[in-house]
Copies of this chain bind each other. A is one copy, B any other.
Amino acid sequence: MSTNTAPNHHPAPEAEESRLPLWQVVAALLDSESPQDALAYLAEMAAPDVAEVLAQLKRDDRQQLIGLYGDQLDPEVLAELDDTIRDEVLEHLTPRQVADAVVQLESDDALAVIEDLDEEEQQQVLAALPAYERIILQESLNFPEDSAGRLMRREVMPMPEHWTIGQARLALQSWDEMPDQFYEIVVVNPSHHPIGILPLAQLLKSKPSKQLREVMEEEFHPIPVLQDQEEVAQTFRRYSLVSAPVVDSDNRLVGTITVDDVVHVLQAEATEDVLRLASAGESIWGAGLINTARPRFIWLTINLATAVLASWVISLFEQTLQKVIALAVLMPIVAGMGGNAGTQTLAVAVRGLATRLLGSGSQGRFVAKELLVALINGIMLGGMIGLFSGLWYQNITLGIVMGSAMLVNLVAASLAGTLIPLGLARVKIDPAISSGVFVTTVTDVVGFMSFLGFATLALKWLA
């Protein structure tokens, strides 16, 4: 078997590409005469790889594999799984078995496993845990979802400022529960307030006789325990942090957050932004057919309602359309271009807000700049399409109507694409989730209204 010759570090991707994806190998083994071989094969893999195989297998194969594992699945794999897949695995386990797995995890991973259980299962698992783990987890569950409190690990070893480097080294050597991801010591004062941090590299380099307060870094970035995880991620990114102390409202140390969690948050938030902007629901990978279709159906229904509104606007101009059928041919151009321009502006606004580049101080300038961009592009594109339409239908008036409607709609698009997301952000609604619908409603309605309205006026003047 290939497991004997496989190098124990991750092979270079070139080598990997030419091989079957892991999940296909596992699927083939599950299909073979000795499906148990799949477990042996997976035993060589890192937890994230096993989690990926579980996510990529077809549902039947996954169920078979979970059945083979019984309660023997590495708890680390549980922590790596997506919510929907984890639910499938947990259904096969008793609350006691889940509790046994949870005990083996660090507190942040343990929390990730139990926070998505339904209320009753959660209580059963908590009841089966030893007292200390139960209390820690219950406390963490009290923090709001997506807050720093949910991301942090509780296993910290704060050190008093008067300790020497030598004492600190000794203390670490006897710290049995040192977490896998551990990079910095938090130095605290007698009130348990963090007053500095000491990277391990510094601990190694400093003279053993020095006191921590002499060598610690005094510039550091404590995270309030209730802070939103997006905010946490932006602090980590901005200051290139690998870990940060988490403090409660009295500024006491209650945990630490490490960068690996932040990397997951950044990726998840980016995916969320993209999917929300496209109104495609949220969690998709591993979701069943119905759970994939439902959120999209809901958003498409909302879009349908706004499309009907736009149609109603068109219907107001049926008489005009009847007279000049060319208007029916051209009107989707005005509406569509407005939608595209609005989406451009919206994307910039949403990413600006998400990355904190678009702060409260610069929003006025942002709107003004977008308005200018719309005027420039509106004049150029309006001119182009006006000329084109005028030539196509040999009708100067039609060209003028088309060009002016385009300019008006691009300006409307820039206002909708800036003011709607900024307004939503101000009232604490995620601008990614619903801006798109509002913006295209505005550009559809303004597009049809201006184009057909100008045309109706032109007909009257000309008549």
With A172-B205, A348-B280 already in contact, the answer to whether A373 and B296 are too (CB < 8 A) is yes
User: Cα distance A218–B172 when bound, in Å?
Assistant: 23
With A222-B12, A377-B293 already in contact, the answer to whether A347 and B277 are too (CB < 8 A) is yes
Give the chain B neighbours of A311 by CB distance below 8 A: 329-330, 332-333
Q: How far is the CB of A279 from chain B (nearest CB, A)?
A: 6
User: Cα distance A178–B202 when bound, in Å?
Assistant: 10
With A240-B260, A289-B373 already in contact, the answer to whether A204 and B172 are too (CB < 8 A) is yes
User: Contact at A388–B308, with CB atoms within 8 Å?
Assistant: yes
User: Cα distance A380–B297 when bound, in Å?
Assistant: 9
Chain A contact surface mostly: helix
> Given B271, B336, B373, B377, which contacts A351 in the complex, CB threshold below 8 Å?
B271
Please provide the chain A residues from 262 to 317 with a CB less than 8 Å away from any CB of chain B in the complex: 262-264, 266-267, 269-271, 273-275, 277-281, 284-285, 289, 292-293, 296-297, 299-301, 303-304, 307-308, 310-311, 314-315
Interface flag for A191 (CB, 8 Å): no
Give the chain B neighbours of A315 by CB distance below 8 A: 329
Give the chain B neighbours of A384 by CB distance below 8 A: 301, 304
Nearest B residue to A204 via CB reads B172
Interface flag for A67 (CB, 8 Å): no
Give the chain B neighbours of A218 by CB distance below 8 A: 8-9
In order of increasing CB-CB distance, the 9 nearest A-B pairs are A270-B270, A278-B347, A240-B260, A328-B328, A280-B344, A21-B361, A200-B200, A10-B221, A307-B333
Sample of 18 A–B contacts (CB below 8 Å) = A9-B194, A9-B220, A12-B222, A21-B359, A48-B239, A200-B201, A242-B242, A277-B278, A280-B344, A289-B373, A293-B377, A296-B341, A297-B381, A300-B377, A303-B340, A304-B384, A310-B336, A328-B331
